[in-house]
Chain A
Amino acid sequence: MLKVRIIPSLLLREGRCVKGVKFRDFRDTGNPVTAAKIYDAQGADELLFLDITASTEKRSILFDIVSKTAEACFMPLCVGGGIRSIEDIRKLLLVGADKVSINTAALDRPEFINEAAEVFGNQCIVASIDVRKRVDGEYEVFSDCGTKARGIGPVEWAKEAVAQGAGEILLTSIDQEGTRKGYDLGLIRMVADTVEVPVIASGGVGSLQDLVDGIVRGHASAVSAASIFHFTDQSIIKARTYMKEAGLDVRSMELR
């Protein structure tokens, strides 16, 4: 049986881990390579780096972090943030990323997903979709770190991204992000039930039960979280145990 994945995510800015609430008010949370090593040791199933460094000249720090992480952690790494070209992807893969997540560039030009999947394979391309609920109750996709409304709904955009060749969807609720109030399960389920590729739930985890809900009620294939692993005494190990006790098929760490 394929195991449910627990994916800690690390938000990076100018080489440091940061954490915000609803994509704002970021605070420093430490050294990313150190954090990655801890998650690796705890048996995280995958690691997600999302870079929100604004200035292009400071972008190169990301390559250094991915490189140092890949030297120490022999686990799947997905990296996103500011990816605009095939060359950007190639550079990240060369320093040790396995997958890249693409957000704004794909919304600007959906064919970019197709071009990237042609070169690196569908499994390599994760479409990252940030969603906000409008006052009228409808969901809308946002780009540019949650600042730009795109006039398209998450289901429609997810379908298009998959048709273009995205191998996975990373689905983040901006409204829930950093609030620790739980995933937007309606949103997650709506997308997960529509597309045939795995959906990674993101944004809002505050308790271990939220992780279980993301899978059971949200129908996600994997659950991502940041705050809960960063700021509380909950660890990947506790999450795995909790999810297992809830009847989910998580990875056993026993080797012999």
Chain B
Amino acid sequence: MAAVLALTAVGLSLVFGVMRVVNVAHGEFFMLGAVAAWFVTSWMPGPPWLGFVATLLLAPLAVAAVAALADRLVLKRLNYDPEATIVATIGLLYILQQAALSLYGPDARPVPAPFELRLQLPWFGYSGYKLFVVAAAGLVLLAVWLIMTRSRIGLVMRATQIDRPTAQAFGIDVDRVYAGVFAMGAGLAAIAAVLIVPIQQAHYLMGGDPLLLSFIVVIIGGLGSLRGTLVAALLIGLSDGVISVFYAPTLAKILATLFVALVLVFRPQGLFGAKA
């Protein structure tokens, strides 16, 4: 849970950090990833792992393409105005949700796990697939960190984040960077969905929880801070899992929301965010 939440929240944080866009439709990109996973695994012949590998490659690409299109058709036309894009992404949320309802239907559908493995530890058993999810999410997050800190693409993204006009004065095509970042953020949400969907099920309304938790995570971690997002995802993901198992999922959400309220009151920039 924490690993998948970290992936989803990093996507949201990246979009806000670089573009200053609060993407309310982020949860729907997560949902599209899960729905795409169902389509690909349903149509793909052969063993489940083959369908899963194909999904892991195709679903994020497809969702990223949808996001890039949305950026061109909607956000760019609004000149990435922070307030207008909130309203626009709310609209996008409903468009994507209703499109999924029309094309995929109202049913929750299972997606098979790529492999069945149960690790029997001395005191309890644990799903091998869940450990795989943690490892895969960790690898993707490491890749994101390397891209942001060690690559030219990351340098360009950071320059755009720091000062858009100056980045343009050095030949950086900011519109292209924004389209890429929006696609990357959506792609990360889709990867998270593909990883989690064999544990949950694909449903057209499944985007709400990841969106809420991602917002909680990025607010606690500090908007735009990757390090803060990771720490907060771990904190919220683990506490959500433990409280949901031993008490109730609703209590977990109530406590997380309370924690956000406390952070907003005592440290509005988040645990790792820079002061405005």
Whether chains A and B associate is no
